[in-house]
Amino acid sequence: MCGVDYLGSYRLLGLLLILGAAFFTVAFTANRLLSRRAPSAGKNATYECGIDPVGGDWAQAQVRYYVYAYLYVLFAVESVFLFPWAVTYALDGFGMVTVVEMAIFVAVLALGLLYAWRKRVLSWT
């Protein structure tokens, strides 16, 4: 019953996908066919700012970055909840209860920050 209509909106998407893939393939094939090629070993070397790369490709990152990243993500995500609240708390029937509830929510976040601070996560030593 919903066959044609239902698929209709997807047909456009499918067409777009096919077109995109075709464009990509055609462009690269054309490049391949038209360009001149002269391969050499130097061209395959990893190139960075004109300096030859040295050492391994594994690098150790400071674990502190992770802690910062975590804290950032935490607060960034939680702030999402603040926006809808900001729109509704002044409406009828919301009022003080809503403010208190949000205060508790923020307090819990602050508690996390306090804990991180007391555990000296925030100092960079």
Closer residue to another protein (CB): 28 or 117? 117
Residues 10-29 contacting another protein, CB under 8 A: none
C-alpha 68/C-alpha 111 separation (Å) is 16
Q: Minimum Å distance from CB 42 to another protein?
A: 42
Q: Minimum Å distance from CB 17 to another protein?
A: 22
C-alpha 65/C-alpha 124 separation (Å) is 10
DSSP string, 56-121: -S--PPPHHHHHHHHHHHHHHHHHHHHHHHHHHTTSTTTHHHHHHHHHHHHHHHHHHHHHHHHTT-
Window 56-75: contact mask with another protein (x via CB under 8 A):
-------x------------
Residue in 46, 91, 96, 124 binding another protein, rule: CB under 8 A: 91
Q: Which residues bind another protein (CB under 8 A)?
A: 63, 88, 91, 93-94, 97-98, 108, 111-112, 114-115, 117-119
